[in-house]
Amino acid sequence: MQHWLRHEVRAPEDIREDVVLGVNEALANCVEHAYRSRREAGAMKLQASYDPGAESIRVCVSDRGSWRKPSSRQTTDPRASRGITLMHRLADHCTIHARPNGTSVYLDYTTDADNAVQQ
């Protein structure tokens, strides 16, 4: 992801760092939540696209795990949902589609290409 962002995407470094952190959090959520009840983690899919004309990056992280609603114990835990909050703060738009047979997280970023310094 970092290599692709650095060489293919015209965006400031701070935006590229936000993308990497958001993606890492989405992938960590797959491991932690989607496949928690299984002996082995299942498949995770990462797709990313860059539209220079629209100055935007879209990332989708998806899994085929089981979505579970947070229990009341989890919702009172101050550490619960930090990852989701972080993804919402890092991305311009964060959408989560949870289904019984898997979850997809869409992270959209504006690249602000005019302020980008290519490395």
| C-beta separation of 29 from 22 below 8 A | no
The reply to whether the predicted model has a pTM over 0.85 is: no
Tell me the C-alpha distance between 96 and 108, whole Å: 12
- pLDDT over threshold 80, residue 80: no
Model confidence pLDDT, tens digit, residues 59-76: 999 999 876 655 555 556
Burial class (CB in 10 A: 0-12, 13-18, 19+), 103: buried
Question: Would you state the structure tokens that stand for residue 31, as one six-digit string?
Answer: 């491991």
Confidence (pLDDT) at 101: 87
Domain ranges of the chain: 2-115
Confidence (pLDDT) at 2: 94
| C-beta separation of 59 from 107 below 8 A | yes
Out of 3.90.180.10, 1.10.3720.10, 2.40.50.140, 3.30.565.10, which CATH number does the structure's domain 2-115 have?
Answer: 3.30.565.10
What is the secondary structure of 72-109 as a DSSP string? HHHHHSTTTTHHHHHHHHHSSEEEEEEETTEEEEEEEE
